[in-house]
């Protein structure tokens, strides 16, 4: 069958690649075209546009880049129509993908949505729109099943694909040597994959270095940005930079500072104590605070429905607060408590196999 996938950011690229791999195992004639990234490209098929050209963060940034977004939508619609897939598979990224879903539905193309948009967080009535433009929804958070059912929509819970990625991970035993890290304890800095979040978060992350002279700081760089881009923030600081080795980094890190997003859950699955940080545009944050209906921003806390990791948002995301949190996580009772919470999280998350389950259900529905 012919599959067209749309992933608009790094996490979508990761999940899209795992799904493509699973689909190939079940469908020998599978062919792919997609908006995605390097991980999806590694699975084969044709990359129509890289997600680095799509990702804009926050309300203000979307408005400022509206013309670019509209051009990308037009390109995507035309490309889908030209490719004429058997099914369109949309991965999260709702603002963009909702428009693409509506277009595909008008053209008679079957629409599957993998990884639910966070409609439970704000403007829950968007479920009514989803019911009209999406044929099948595949969710990766257990509480989403009951949420959608309350709105009269049955969805499939498939488990979380991050468990697939982690279970397939084989540590590089030469990681420390390869990156000149020695035997010093590592504090990992994960500033995200989008330009806006990197520029807002990386400087404040780096500002805590002097308080931890017995640690080495390592930044997980996004592959869509060159070394020189990160060097403008790092400067002469004694900081290491790695690309495409985030899981190896988490495998050896003792503590981490992580941008809110998928990486918070990945860090927890590797059982690395962390502090979660977020900074958005002033207007974006003001709008979000009026609209958002959730108590937490990190996936770890959302899944557990309680505070497991500290979230430092906007003005709270500063040198003093990050330093204080890291001091408590480097050693002591707070570190031990978070490790115990991570064990509870692992029990809630369940077993790997989400990608294979999703691929199997998709083929079942298509046939």
Token duo for residue 183: 């035997």
Residue located via tokens 């690395």: 272
Beta strands per DSSP E along 178-273: 185-190, 215-221, 239-243, 255-259
Nearest alpha-carbon partner for 112 in 15, 47, 39: 15
Same domain membership, residue 224 and residue 358: no
Beta strands 31-36; 46-50: pairing state: parallel
Instruction: Output the pLDDT for position 55.
Output: 58
Instruction: Output the pLDDT for position 291.
Output: 41
What does each C-alpha distance from 54 to 30, 40, 50, 97 come to in angstroms? 26, 15, 7, 11
Instruction: Output the pLDDT for position 256.
Output: 98
* Residues 322-355 pLDDT 10s: 999 999 999 999 999 999 999 999 988 888 999 9
Rounded CA gap, 155 and 162, in Å?
Answer: 19
Rounded CA gap, 229 and 302, in Å?
Answer: 33
Same domain membership, residue 134 and residue 255: no
Same domain membership, residue 149 and residue 173: no
Same domain membership, residue 220 and residue 187: yes
Share of the chain above pLDDT 90, in %: 74
- pLDDT above 80 (res 365): yes
Q: Spell out the residues 6+ positions from residue 92 whose beta carbon is closer than 8 angstroms to its own.
A: 7, 8, 9, 11, 12, 15, 114, 115, 116, 117
Range of the domain at 120: 2-160+352-366
Same domain membership, residue 138 and residue 232: no
* Residues 85-135 pLDDT 10s: 999 999 998 889 999 999 999 999 999 999 998 888 777 788 999 999 999
Same domain membership, residue 13 and residue 49: yes
Same domain membership, residue 246 and residue 206: yes
**Sheet harboring 136-139: ordered strands across?**
46-50, 31-36, 2-7, 87-91, 110-114, 136-139, 156-157
Instruction: Output the pLDDT for position 287.
Output: 41
Rounded CA gap, 310 and 85, in Å?
Answer: 44
- Tell me the average pLDDT of the chain: 91
Same domain membership, residue 280 and residue 151: no
CATH number for the domain spanning 226: value is 3.40.50.2000
Same domain membership, residue 185 and residue 333: yes
What is the pTM for the complete model shown?
A: 0.75
Q: Three-state SS for 244?
A: coil
Same domain membership, residue 244 and residue 126: no
**Are the C-beta atoms of residues 315 and 125 closer than 8 Å to each other?**
no
Q: How many domains does the chain have?
A: 2
Same domain membership, residue 275 and residue 221: yes
Same domain membership, residue 176 and residue 304: yes
């Amino acid at each position: 069958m012919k599959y067209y996938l749309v992933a608009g950011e790094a996490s979508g690229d990761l999940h899209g690649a795992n799904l493509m791999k699973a689909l190939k195992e079940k469908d020998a004639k599978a062919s792919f075209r997609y908006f995605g990234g390097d991980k999806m490209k590694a699975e084969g098929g044709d990359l129509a546009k890289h997600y680095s050209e799509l990702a804009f963060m926050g309300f203000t940034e979307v408005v400022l880049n509206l013309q670019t977004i509209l051009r990308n939508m037009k390109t995507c619609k035309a490309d889908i129509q030209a490719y004429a897939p058997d099914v369109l598979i949309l991965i999260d990224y709702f603002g963009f993908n909702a428009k693409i879903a509506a277009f595909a539905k008008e053209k008679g193309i079957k629409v599957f949505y993998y990884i639910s948009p966070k409609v439970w967080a704000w403007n829950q009535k968007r479920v009514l729109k989803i019911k009209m433009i999406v044929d099948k929804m595949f969710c990766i958070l257990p509480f989403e099943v009951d949420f959608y059912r309350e709105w009269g929509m049955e969805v499939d819970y498939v488990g979380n694909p991050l468990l697939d990625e982690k279970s397939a991970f084989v540590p590089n035993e030469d990681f420390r040597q390869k990156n000149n890290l020695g035997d010093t304890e590592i504090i990992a800095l994960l500033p995200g994959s989008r330009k806006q979040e990197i520029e807002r978060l990386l400087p404040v992350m780096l500002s805590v270095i002097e308080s931890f002279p017995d640690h080495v700081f390592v930044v997980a760089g996004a592959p869509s940005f060159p070394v020189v881009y990160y060097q403008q923030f790092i400067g002469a600081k004694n900081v290491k930079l790695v690309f495409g080795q985030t899981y190896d980094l988490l495998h050896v890190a003792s503590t981490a500072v992580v941008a809110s997003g998928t990486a918070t859950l990945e860090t927890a699955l590797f059982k690395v104590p962390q502090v979660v940080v977020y900074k958005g545009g002033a207007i974006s944050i003001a709008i979000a605070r009026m609209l958002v209906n959730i108590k937490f921003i990190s996936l770890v806390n959302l899944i557990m429905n309680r505070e497991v990791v500290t979230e430092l948002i906007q003005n709270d995301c500063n040198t003093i607060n990050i330093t204080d949190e890291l001091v408590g996580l480097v050693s002591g009772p707070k570190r031990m408590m978070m490790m115990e919470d991570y064990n509870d999280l692992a029990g809630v998350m369940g077993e790997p196999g989400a990608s294979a389950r999703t691929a199997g259900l998709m083929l079942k529905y298509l046939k």
